[in-house]
Structures are given as C-alpha cells and as structure tokens.
Amino acid sequence: MGPAALLLLLPLFGLPPTRAAPENDEILCLPGLMKQPAFRQYSGYLNVAGGKHLHYWFVESQKDPQSSPVVLWLNGGPGCSSLDGLLTEHGPFLIQPDGNTLEYNPYSWNLNANVLYLESPAGVGFSYSDDKNYVTNDTEVAQNNYEALQEFFRLFPEFSSNQLFLTGESYAGIYIPTLAMLVMQDPSMNLQGLAVGNGLSCYEQNDNSLVYFAYYHGLLGNRLWSALQTHCCAQGRCNFHDNQDPNCTMNLLEVSRIVSNSGLNIYNLYAPCAGGVPGHARHEKDTLVIQDMGNLFTRLPIKRMLQQTLMRTGERVRLDPPCTNTTAPSTYLNNPYVRKALHIPEQVPRWDMCNFVVNSNYLRLYSTMNAQYLKLLSAQKYRILVYNGDVDMACNFMGDEWFVDSLNQKVEVQRRPWLVSDGSGEQIAGFVKEFANMAFLTIKGAGHMVPTDKPQAALTMFTRFLRKEPY
C-alpha cells in the first residue's frame, strides 16, 4: 500500500489530527524560567484590516488542550496590555519584582483552558499599525478583535471546534459584549459564553454607585455627604453622573480628588499605593507620567479639559495604571532576549503597560452595555458571568450589580455566599446571585485585578464557570 493510501486511511483509525499551529510562532525557550513548560505556547501577530498587526500570546492548556476550551482574555484601559493579565494575574508564570525571573503560578487559568492573550487595539503593547494611526473607537475595536479571532482559528484550525469563551477585565466590560455581538453571528465559532471582571458596564451606574461606595467605606465624611445630598439629589434620587448643578459639580470634583488623586489605591481600597502617595502627574527623566484612565466622572468638564491640554503639550507622555508598579513587566518585556523569544520585530517600539495616545484618542461610543447583554441573553444559549472584587473603586461591585439587576432577568438562585476551600476548611469567597443564563458574583477582599489579589478564589470561580458547575 502506497503512502497516499495510508494517509487516506488515517482518519479511520481515530488518530489525533495533525497540528497546524504556526511553527514560527512557537516559543521554544522563554527567558526567566528555571525550567521550560511542558505545555506549548506561541507568540506572534494576528493581522487584521487596515494594516493592523495585533500581538498575541497563546498558552495551551496544561491538560488535554485538544478538548479544553479556548478562552480569549482582554485587559482594558482603554489602551492597556493584556500581557498584564498573563504576567501579573492568571498566566502560567508570573513576573517577579526583579523584572528578570518568572515563577510558575499554581493558580494559572491555563490549568484547564487554552488561553489567548491579545494586545488590543493596535498601538497597545507590541501591537502596531503600518500607518501608525492609533485613533480608534468601540466599533472598530470590536471588528478588529473579531478579525483577530478569525485569523487565530485560521492559524490554529485544530482548535476551531473547541468551546470558545470571551473574557476580560475593566474596559473589556465594553470590549467583550461588543465583540460577542459579532462572534454570535458566526457559526464557525463555538461561542459558549463570556465573563467580565470588574467591568465598565454603564458609566452612569458606575459613577452613581461609586459615590455611595466611597461614603460608606469612610472616605467622604458627613460635611461632603450632606452637600452632595443637597446639591445632587432630588425626590429621593441622586444624579452623580451628569448633574448640571454647579454646586454638585464642585462636590463631585472633591469626590473625584479623594478617590482618584489623594493617594488611595483606586484598584484596591485596602492595598497600599505602590511607590507611596503620588501626585496626579509626575516627571521621570524626559517623560510626563499620567495616572488617570479617564473612566470615572467623564461628564465633569474639568476632566475633559485636562486630557486635551496634555495632548497639546507635545512632550513624551506615559500612561501608568495608578498605584501600580509597572517596572517589572516593562523590564522583562523590553529585554531584547525576551522580545526575540516572543518573535517581536525590531522596529516595534518599546512595550509599555498602557498607551497614552490610544487612551486619549479613543472614541467611546457606548454609555451602557444594556442592549448587548439583552441580545446575548435573548439567545438563551450563552452563559454570562459578571464578577467583581468588592474593594475596587475603578469599577465598583455595586455599579455592576445595579447593572445586572437592571437587565430584569429571572432570578433562579437568590444572593448567597459561595465557598472556596483554603486547606483548613471552607471559607466564604464572596457572594453570588444567579439568573437563568447569567450570574453576578463578588470576590471578598479582592480589588480590580481579582486573580492578583485572590488567585485561588479566582481560579475556583473560573473553573466552575467553564464547567457549568454551581458556584
């Protein structure tokens, strides 16, 4: 029997499909690891329309990648890198403070999933555009991310029938539902659900709830609270989002200053601020460092003026997440040996955690994700998880809970504690409320980056979500 006939017979014997993954993208030796991993990983570019090249880093599941789901992960900003999720949150290895060493993460999300970390939009991290034009908007980003997924499955056809989950954090509260709108119309993708952590779901509910969160966590004091009640509230309803009363605006500027610029860690109220209490902006050598993502109190006129002024100064500006030490991941990813291992072309600029140009030019088209969630829920076949660390102020748990409640879905399991075993017995990990195809879940004591603060609870939640197990 000739070789051609043998090839025709192979499918009959149930042999595993040949791997089609792009060999040139495989990471063969990653600097910083004592021992290279047993699972395969890839880094390269997914090319989309308009000459855009989105950098991806794909880590296969540590057990049975062929049958494990494919999970897309996006960090938010807008303008921040998803490699933050990989190297500091739930990737298989975490960057150490020296900026050179990686340690294996016992709570990695690729223990039972193939995870695709995508740096989006173009201009973020190692992603770039041929024309170097980094002005974009919510609709274009959703389309680019969808095209990147199509390209991923073209390069990795062996995963195209696996279950697909879209997940992300923060401004991915916008990225993920808008992307899901496109993916749900594509029968070639096996979309099963989405999970959004500490997501920006609705600007109005985020702003309104934050003022209550701040007051009841002891940040505002009675004088300011009374003034807010007087100037921002009427007939038992408060508007802390787009109130036109000048006295209310003044009071909200004070709230914004306390929450964002006083030195509190906006991402975790009870965590220290890395590097100590900062000013709103600081200089490092020839670079102005800004620490405001621009997602809170967006209707305050002074916030918009400040952003526009900074863009006109012409000096080099770096956008850093507030109270976050980005030195270690930046040191690691800008190491020439690491860049070579990740197949990053030499002409691609240095890696930064967040990109000021992308963030400040970003056009926000949606004020709420209400319509997107209702469309997804009406299909009655996707499972949706909205989860929040309960001490985050950037996208606080109360605003997201209000948002989920406003979708008016049928409650199946009333709000109750969910448990995780910590070796000494079971502990309350947070609270969960379950609807027909959706759950809202809090993680007790976690901030904005849930897997960083509570890795075991985060992995437990993620695994139960993927397996459709009760929380």
Q: Which of 352, 392, 400, 453 is catalytic?
A: 392
pLDDT band at 311, cuts 50/70/90? low
Residue 117 covered by a domain: yes
The candidate with the shortest Cα–Cα distance to 63, out of 108, 116, 4, 128, is 108
Beta bridge partners of 129: 52
Residue 112 covered by a domain: yes
User: For position 307, what pLDDT does the model report?
Assistant: 59
User: For position 6, what pLDDT does the model report?
Assistant: 44
Give 107-134 pLDDT, tens digit per residue.
999 999 999 999 999 999 999 999 999 9
Range of the domain at 192: 23-203+366-467
Q: Is the pLDDT assigned to residue 358 strictly greater than 50?
A: yes
Beta bridge partners of 287: 284, 316
Instruction: Give the type of residue at 339.
Output: R
The yes-or-no answer on residue 280 being catalytic is no
Q: For the residues 155-178, what does the mean pLDDT come to? A: 98
Q: Which of 82, 170, 201, 360 is catalytic?
A: 170
Q: Which of 53, 330, 448, 453 is catalytic?
A: 448
Residue 461 covered by a domain: yes
Q: What percent of the chain has pLDDT over 70?
A: 93
Residue 263 covered by a domain: no
Largest CA distance in the chain: 90
Q: For the residues 58-80, what does the mean pLDDT come to? A: 97
Q: For the residues 129-142, what does the mean pLDDT come to? A: 97
The yes-or-no answer on residue 448 being catalytic is yes
Residue 339 covered by a domain: no
| Residue 350: C-alpha distances to residues 1, 44, 77, 245 (Å) | 56, 16, 18, 45
Q: Give CA torsion, residues 132, 136, 140, 145, to 10 deg.
A: 60
Residue 80 covered by a domain: yes
b/e map 181-215, b = 16+ CB within 10 Å: ebbbeeeebbbbbbbbbbbbbbbbbbbbbbbbbbb
User: For position 290, what pLDDT does the model report?
Assistant: 83
Q: Phi/psi class of residue 280: alpha, beta or left (left: φ > 0; alpha: ψ in -120 to 50)?
A: alpha
Q: Is the pLDDT assigned to residue 284 strictly greater than 70?
A: yes
Residue 137 belongs to domain with CATH number:
3.40.50.1820
Q: Is the pLDDT assigned to residue 301 strictly greater than 90?
A: no
The yes-or-no answer on residue 170 being catalytic is yes
Residue 71 covered by a domain: yes
Question: What domain count does the chain have?
Answer: 1
Residue 224 covered by a domain: no
Structure tokens at 275: 């590097």
